[in-house]
Structure 1
C-alpha cells in the first residue's frame, strides 16, 4: 500500500473553479504544485492513483507507478539554487529529472488540459508548507508540439507569463496574477517556485487548451476533484 494512502483525507478544502476536496498529507520534503491551471500530477492524483480515468494518467502510472501521484507535492530539487536549466535535462522538465515522476514526462497530446484564452489569468498554487520565494510561470512558444518531449527551447523563457515574489498563502493556496499570451490549441505552462530561504525549488507542468477545442470531460475523482474545465482528447492513445 502506498505510504500516503491512509492520509489522503488529511487536508480538506473547497475552491471554485478548482475543488480540492481531499489532499494527501505531504511528505517531509514536499510543499506544493500548481492547482489552477491544474498540474499534471495534481490532475492524475485527483483521478485516483490506483485507477486514473484519463489515458494519459494511466500511462503515467504504468511508466512510473502510483507513488508519484501520492507524492504530488514533491516534484523538487533540493539544491537547485536557480540552476534549473543546468540540472534538468530536456525531455525531463515535468519530472524535474526525478526518476519517480518520469511518467509525467510522457510526450502525448491527450493530457487533461485546462481551457484557457489569452489575457489576464489568476494562478492558484496549492501549498502544503509556505516559504519565502519567487514563482515564475512560462508558456510554450507558438508551434509547440505536445507529442514531442518538452525541451527548454520550447518555453518562452524571456517573457514569463507570471512572476510573483513572496505572495501570501491563503486557505492553502498562493494566488497571483499573470497574463497568458496569444496562442492557439494545446500549450503547456511550466511553473518554477524557487525558495529564497533555501536553494530548494519546485516544478510543475500544466496543460492548457487555448480555445478549448478538445472533447471529453474528465469526470470528478474522489480526492481531490480535477479542474472542471480540464478535458482530454476524444480518442487518446493509451
Structure 2
C-alpha cells in the first residue's frame, strides 16, 4: 500500500510539472541598473514625478542591445522614455555632474558611456568587473548651458546588451 501511494504521488508530480512550467512566469534577467541621481527619466517614473506606464515598476529594466542611442534602449514597452515632451523635470546642475548608478543585480561591466546631443562626453572603464551596489561618475558637460539631456549607458561585459538611462538637466 505504501509503495502504491509513492507511485501515485510520482505520477501526479510528473503530470503537474509541465503545467507548472507553463503557469509560472519566466525569471527576471540577472542584471539591472539605472541612474538614480540626478533622477533619470525612469527614476522620475518610479518616484511618481511623471506619470508613466510599466517602467514605474521596474526602472532598472531599460535593457537593449549595445550601441543604441535611445532613452528606452529600443524596448517598445518603455518607449515613453523617448518622448521629450512628456514633462520630465530637469535637475539643476553645474557644468560638472555626478551621476549615481543603482544596481538591483550586478553584471560584469565593460564600461559606462555618457552622451550629450549625440556626442560622447565621457567613458569610464568597468575593467570587466562586477560593480558594487552603486557607482558614481563625475562628468564634465563641456561648457553647455540651458536644458540638456544626457544619455548614460552601462555596457555589460559578458552579454551583447547594455542598460540605458536619460537624465534631463538644467545647466546654469
Give the TM-score normalised by structure 2.
0.73
1:46 — aligned with what? 47
Pick from 177, 182, 190 the counterpart of residue 151 of structure 2: 190
1:146-161 aligned within 5 A: 155-157=118-120, 160-161=121-122
CA contact (8 A) 1:126 1:173 kept: yes
1:74 aligns with 2:61: yes
User: What's the CA shift for 1:168?
Assistant: 6.8
User: What is the RMSD computed on CA atoms of the aligned residues?
Assistant: 2.2
Pick from 159, 162, 165 the counterpart of residue 204 of structure 1: 165
1:127 aligns with 2:103: yes
1:103 — aligned with what? 80
Post-superposition, which runs of at least 4 consecutive aligned residues in structure 1 deviate over 6 A? none
CA contact (8 A) 2:35 2:102 kept: yes
CA contact (8 A) 1:193 1:201 kept: yes
1:176 — aligned with what? 137
User: What's the CA shift for 1:164?
Assistant: 3.4
CA contact (8 A) 1:164 1:176 kept: no
1:28 — aligned with what? 28
Q: Kindly indicate which of the two structures has a greater share of residues assigned to strand.
A: 2
Unaligned runs of 5+ in 2: 1-26
User: What's the CA shift for 1:109?
Assistant: 7.4
1:224 — aligned with what? none
Q: Kindly indicate which of the two structures has a greater share of residues assigned to helix.
A: 2
User: What's the CA shift for 1:162?
Assistant: 4.3
Mark the CA change 1:168 to 1:123 in structure 2 (over 3 Å): closer, same or farther.
farther
CA contact (8 A) 1:185 1:209 kept: yes
For 1:168 and 1:178, the matched residues in 2 are separated by 21
Structure 1, residues 23-64: CA drift from partner, whole Å, max 9, x if none?
Answer: xxxx721501111222101112112xxxxx4xxx22xx3xxx
User: What's the CA shift for 1:75?
Assistant: 0.6
Structure 1, residues 177-197: CA drift from partner, whole Å, max 9, x if none?
Answer: 322221111101101111111
